[in-house]
């Protein structure tokens, strides 16, 4: 769902937080994947902070919200992961995306006015170059190399990650 926040002009304030809280409570995700906490576009870091704040607030019983006139129950996701965007940030965890690299590229290319499109009539930008589109692939290849797979996606975390089973963790052997 698009909450209609204005590009470049939204804030991590009460009005925006409440709208995100409503969505978290509506969908009750176990994991939220959010923008990088620091990036080239100022919205990305602001969105990361907004989501982090709203995810905490969504778990507070005294934070009352209604959706379509119905009260919503408190709910807090288990984990927030921040995907790495323009900047080269050191990931806290890397996920094998080898089976999904084509889907990822299709999703990026769906934004044909922003990313490389040889037939575009839009003004050229840093992210509309072929080099930037290629960088999505070679970053995924490099992340994959680090964990011994063909492609990987790096994420940062806002909180500590725990496990009940050390055998489900692995690294390159």
- Write down the pTM of the prediction: 0.87
pLDDT greater at residue 27 or residue 163: 27
pLDDT for 173 equals: 56
Question: Above pLDDT 90, what percent of the chain?
Answer: 68
Q: From residue 18, give the alpha-carbon distance in Å to each of 7, 131, 159, 169.
A: 18, 39, 22, 36
Q: From residue 62, give the alpha-carbon distance in Å to each of 20, 49, 53, 70, 72.
A: 16, 21, 15, 16, 11
Averaged confidence pLDDT in the chain: 92
Question: How many residues are listed for the chain in this entry?
Answer: 173
Contacts of 132 (CB under 8 A, 6+ apart): 115, 116, 126
- Among 1-10, 111-120, 124-133, 160-169, which stretch is predicted with the lowest mean pLDDT? 111-120
> Exposed, middle or buried by CB within 10 Å (0-12, 13-18, 19+), for 94?
buried
**Strand-strand pairing, 70-71 and 79-83:** unpaired
Closest CA to 72 of 58, 82, 86, 57: 58
> Exposed, middle or buried by CB within 10 Å (0-12, 13-18, 19+), for 14?
exposed
> Exposed, middle or buried by CB within 10 Å (0-12, 13-18, 19+), for 53?
middle
pLDDT for 128 equals: 86
- Among 21-25, 37-41, 137-141, which stretch is predicted with the lowest mean pLDDT? 37-41
- Among 21-30, 56-65, 127-136, which stretch is predicted with the lowest mean pLDDT? 127-136
pLDDT for 57 equals: 98
pLDDT for 46 equals: 95
pLDDT greater at residue 125 or residue 67: 67
């Amino acid at each position: 769902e698009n909450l209609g926040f204005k590009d470049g002009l939204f804030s991590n304030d009460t009005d925006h937080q409440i709208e995100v809280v409503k969505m978290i409570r509506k969908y009750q995700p176990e994991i939220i994947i959010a923008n990088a906490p620091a990036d080239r576009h100022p919205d990305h870091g602001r969105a990361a902070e907004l989501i982090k704040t709203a995810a905490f607030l969504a778990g507070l019983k005294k934070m009352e919200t209604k959706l379509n006139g119905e009260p919503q129950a408190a709910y807090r996701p288990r984990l927030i992961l921040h995907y790495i965007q323009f900047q080269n940030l050191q990931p806290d965890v890397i996920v094998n995306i080898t089976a999904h690299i084509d889907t990822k590229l299709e999703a990026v290319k769906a934004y044909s006015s922003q990313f490389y499109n040889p037939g575009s009539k839009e003004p050229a930008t840093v992210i509309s170059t072929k080099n930037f589109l290629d960088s999505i692939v070679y970053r995924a290849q490099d992340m994959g190399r680090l964990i011994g797979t063909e492609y990987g996606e790096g994420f940062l975390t806002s909180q500590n990650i725990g496990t009940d089973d050390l055998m489900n963790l692995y690294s390159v052997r």
